[in-house]
Chains A and B, each alone.
Chain A
């Protein structure tokens, strides 16, 4: 809504200019010309703001899972994962969404849909064996004989699909090659690397969905994995992030000095674990302490446990503000005893907020938290987590 205000402002300004022009004959020409420019600019701006507004998000980082984790996953769950990779979410097929794999940009998936740019993938699992039997497949593509030297060619349906994904030019369906290439070069990118960069787990999930959605029993995940390993050399495989490891920064969000404390909390997801007085979305977190630092910061700082961490060279805050900032950017510097979760050396809090806050945002957030006390917590009706309830802190 506020985004559209600029167009309105420009248009109203142009009206003001026309009125001025009417009353100031000496500069009428100039004001009328500027006014006219603003009318047109305002019209284009307004039209653009009236159209559907879609933000193009950065694709999520590779799924967090151990290598081989999909091997034991139930088939329906794996197929769901595949649907999400292709269409953006479970149920995305019906809505013709576009997911990380970007497949629907070129391929069609429903009976009767015409794929001008790439084949319709319905019945692929059955058609794969027919393709393998074709003379063109057997003869091979001189321009790209195999995925990599010594990889060999596909002999099963699962291998055919894996080969098509990892080496699209190894065999190009007649009529779908790049113009002038006589179907020896595919316009399809290698989806296991580059812009799309699907991991082996995601590729296995995609292939499983291709079978599963047609009521067929997909090959076991291990078999599909072996097929991909046949065509993708070790060095070219996109790795899944190990479970528990923080995902690579996907770009936004980042806390900025211009943000309000509420916006920072929302962007950084603090409310998932903490209750924070004065923040409307932070009323239920029960994993971390209540953040009323006016009450707790000095207390923690003076505690023998904290001073022990200072002596050990793990922590170094001298003022409550330093303590709050340290707790955000280096949560393992000192873990409040009640929240140790079995390991006093390592906080369970996300460790990379140092890369997600600007200095100004950190300063602002620390100031805000240091202004929160028992009265504010009680006013918001916060109880705090069971490990350290508000009643214990505030008496």
Chain B
């Protein structure tokens, strides 16, 4: 229904150029012949329906006389876009969480727990309301910055995406309306059929949000992998081709998952801060629980993220091999080493949090002896994960190492090893979670031994399969090696889904050694949540920079050249400085948003906090 509505709204926009072309054809045979040109990506012929990209000079980029580095227009655009994307991600992710948490609440039979989930969802949407306004303001600021600082570029892009931009604006209206009904109707639609309708509104909100994001993604992905235009950048009459460029879908998937990870991280940080500032045990218990739920959602989303990233990168290589090599083995390769460090920080923080979380459960001691093995495996995988492949090196360094790759550890730099390493890290985190789930339980099912044996065997087979394929990958050509990632991923996902299923089945009817004592987690663990949040934020800044800078000196890859005085690519250190300033600015903004939320939320959560102290079982479900 919604899709049909959107399509009916969109059709006139989408069809305009094509219809114009049809009309021209039908009108008269004597009309001037339409020039046809070849699509740079789809290689199909289409009628030339737009102007070529403008040929710009350095002086065509109006700039302010600001001190360096603000004298570079791109730094201003970069910072504003980054803040807009941070808040945009947050306000897209929070409704996803709200939708899930509200549904969980609806499906939970225990009325106390149901209310607890419902209140949490309500609190989250309240926090995101202010962030939503900030996102819109930053979006406006970004738009004005583009118009004033990159007028020719913006004119070109808007000439192509004209209909998409209008639909974007209409969707924004629709999303705002839905959000306000969703939030302000919370109490009125609290029971019976109305509550289900309210949950449906949550789904609708996410549909609008996701389509909105996908449309905006098309602009960024078009700049990386243009389509629907000819070599001169002239529009060829089919907006769907422009929209549906090579990297659009991989970017959509990667961003949706990434947003969820990021949103979870922010909520976890909020809960951690509130936990540390809590004045009584009730508050501590509530925010400990909230932090756990947010961490669970963030890490749950983090697990599929590398696979989405892998798909995106595979499509980058498919679109333009040089682009992939620039990323993974060329100018930008060191940035992936930083990414590896950040992802390592995420996995370590998660495991550390789970290990600490066991402390709030009596009976967890018997599993703590496994921590050192998990830590060892994670560390070993992390070291392999961050070993670089081909690097941009100085001649002296090349000579010292004896080539682009180190004779021994250089072997860990290839994709084969990376796939093995990241799958290992994911599996060790899954093991930590399974142990966490059963920490306060004595399993009573008769098939306990078989269940444990099945779990051990499954993880052993998955790990050995993963390592074996990683080693085998060294002996086969690259194009065959790419296919090995599938069985590696399958092994990891099997441990996740089948492992969790077996674990949950084994816990059926289990005896509690004690409740989860929410609030009795260590203070250190809350800093692990901070570490998660700041790593996510930095990671997002880094990956955004990588995605954007891979275009090097092109506004639109190979079609529209960047002739500004700052078309070169900055050093890693410079980029990192800008990223850090952006990260710090964002968290200052977030503090402000949370503070605003705090002004009105005190009464709303007071009741929920009282309920939070109620003991529940591990696993987050009940």
Residues of chain A having any CB pair with chain B under 8 Å: 3-4, 6-7, 10, 29-30, 32-34, 36-38, 40-42, 44-45, 47-49, 51-59, 95-96, 98, 102, 105-106, 116-117, 175, 178-179, 187-189, 193-195, 248-254, 256-259, 354-356, 358-360
**Chain A proximity of B288: nearest CB distance (Å):** 15
- Given A36, A47, A195, A258, which contacts B558 in the complex, CB threshold below 8 Å? A195
The answer to whether B77 has its CB under 8 Å from any CB of chain A is no
The answer to whether B6 has its CB under 8 Å from any CB of chain A is no
Contact A49 B573 (CB under 8 A): yes
Complex CA distance for A7 and B580, rounded to whole angstroms: 9
Complex CA distance for A354 and B580, rounded to whole angstroms: 36
The answer to whether B251 has its CB under 8 Å from any CB of chain A is no
Contact B530 A36 (CB under 8 A): yes
The answer to whether B574 has its CB under 8 Å from any CB of chain A is yes
Contact A55 B571 (CB under 8 A): yes
Contact B580 A188 (CB under 8 A): no
The answer to whether B158 has its CB under 8 Å from any CB of chain A is no
Contact B530 A178 (CB under 8 A): no
Contact A194 B277 (CB under 8 A): no
One digit per residue, 1 when the CB lies within 8 angstroms of any chain A CB and 0 when it does not, for chain B 377-421 equals 000000000000001111101100001100000000000000000
Contact A33 B530 (CB under 8 A): yes
- Given B59, B318, B395, which contacts A95 in the complex, CB threshold below 8 Å? B395
Contact A44 B67 (CB under 8 A): no
Task: Indicate the member of B65, B337, B549, B552 with the most A CB atoms within 10 Å.
Answer: B65
17 pairs, CB–CB < 8 Å, chain A vs chain B:
A30-B273, A33-B273, A49-B572, A49-B576, A49-B577, A57-B569, A95-B395, A106-B325, A189-B320, A195-B554, A249-B565, A251-B566, A256-B65, A258-B65, A258-B67, A258-B68, A355-B59
Contacts of A188 in B (CB 8 A): 321
Contact B568 A58 (CB under 8 A): yes
One digit per residue, 1 when the CB lies within 8 angstroms of any chain A CB and 0 when it does not, for chain B 513-541 equals 00000000000000100110011001000
Contacts of A117 in B (CB 8 A): 321, 325, 478
Contacts of B337 in A (CB 8 A): 51
* A6-B580, A47-B341, A96-B398 as given contacts; A52 in contact with B393, CB under 8 Å: yes
One digit per residue, 1 when the CB lies within 8 angstroms of any chain A CB and 0 when it does not, for chain B 455-499 equals 000000000000000000000011100100000000000000000
Contacts of A258 in B (CB 8 A): 65-68, 71
Q: How many residues of B contact A (CB 8 A)?
A: 76
Contacts of B482 in A (CB 8 A): 179
**CB interface residues, B 303-347, toward A, < 8 Å:** 318, 320-322, 325-326, 329-331, 334, 337-338, 341-342, 345
Complex CA distance for A102 and B558, rounded to whole angstroms: 14
Complex CA distance for A306 and B158, rounded to whole angstroms: 49
Task: Indicate the member of B68, B345, B576 with the most A CB atoms within 10 Å.
Answer: B576
- Given A195, A251, A359, which contacts B58 in the complex, CB threshold below 8 Å? A251
Contacts of A360 in B (CB 8 A): 65
Contact B322 A189 (CB under 8 A): yes
Contact A105 B67 (CB under 8 A): no
Contact B573 A3 (CB under 8 A): yes
Contacts of B563 in A (CB 8 A): 248-249, 251
Contact B576 A37 (CB under 8 A): no
Contact B538 A44 (CB under 8 A): yes
- Given A37, A56, A253, A257, which contacts B552 in the complex, CB threshold below 8 Å? A56
The 8 closest A-B pairs by CB, nearest first: A56-B569, A48-B576, A254-B565, A251-B567, A49-B573, A53-B571, A116-B478, A360-B65
Contact A53 B478 (CB under 8 A): no
Contacts of B571 in A (CB 8 A): 3, 53-55
